[in-house]
């Protein structure tokens, strides 16, 4: 069927992260919460009223490539943490934690493993963040509706 609707390309949703055409079922879902007593403005987004917290979900348009990039980033960070743990336990088996840490040496995993894990995690997270900046990908937390809602008092569940 052809008609005016066939020429909607300029109004098609664009991937917020890279600007490519967004895929309808690849959008990124953002959850925001607020104290239910505050009865915050939701700007037309559906709000799930809770006993303590109101919840609001909005989706950020995204393309398939950015979705897989996000998933790959997660795998890379996990691999980095694992590699750090292995490298540290093999090459520095006698590494000691700084004394101010009061580390319980009877822990489940060894100290070199734990230190390597943290270093591997941090190093790969920095690497992934740098790569994202190099690709000029925008973060979902910079999505304007998310900003508007956060200025109104909504926030991410963890903070
Ligand atoms: Zn994209």
- 73, 126: one domain: yes
- 143, 93: one domain: no
Q: pTM of whole model > 0.85?
A: no
Q: What does the block give as tokens for 152?
A: 């109104």
CA distances from 83 to 87, 111, 118, 122 (A): 6, 15, 10, 12
- 80, 127: one domain: yes
Q: What does the block give as tokens for 65?
A: 């490539």
| Distance from Cα 16 to the centre of ligand 1, integer Å | 7
Q: What is the pLDDT along the chain (159 residues), one digit of tens a residue?
A: 444 444 444 567 899 999 999 998 999 999 999 999 998 999 999 999 999 999 999 999 999 999 999 999 999 999 999 999 999 988 888 777 666 766 665 556 788 888 899 999 999 999 999 998 899 999 888 999 999 999 999 999 975
| Distance from Cα 93 to the centre of ligand 1, integer Å | 43
| Distance from Cα 31 to the centre of ligand 1, integer Å | 20
| Distance from Cα 89 to the centre of ligand 1, integer Å | 38
| Distance from Cα 69 to the centre of ligand 1, integer Å | 9
User: Residue 53 sits in which domain range?
Assistant: 13-63+138-151
- 73, 128: one domain: yes
- 25, 37: one domain: yes
């Amino acid at each position: 069927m052809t008609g005016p609707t066939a020429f909607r390309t300029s109004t098609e949703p664009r991937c917020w992260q890279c600007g490519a055409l967004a895929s309808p079922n690849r959008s990124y879902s953002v959850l925001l919460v607020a104290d239910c007593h505050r009865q915050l403005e939701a700007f037309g987004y559906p709000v799930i009223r809770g006993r303590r917290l109101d919840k609001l979900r909005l989706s950020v348009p995204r393309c398939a490539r950015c979705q897989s990039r996000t998933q790959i980033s997660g795998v890379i960070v996990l691999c980095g943490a694992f590699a750090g743990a292995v490298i540290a336990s093999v090459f520095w088996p006698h590494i000691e934690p700084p004394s101010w840490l009061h580390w319980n040496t009877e822990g489940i995993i060894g100290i070199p493993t734990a230190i390597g894990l943290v270093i591997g995690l941090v190093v790969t997270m920095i690497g992934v963040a740098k790569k994202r900046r190099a690709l000029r990908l925008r973060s979902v937390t910079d999505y304007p509706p998310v900003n508007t809602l956060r200025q109104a008092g909504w926030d991410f569940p963890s903070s």
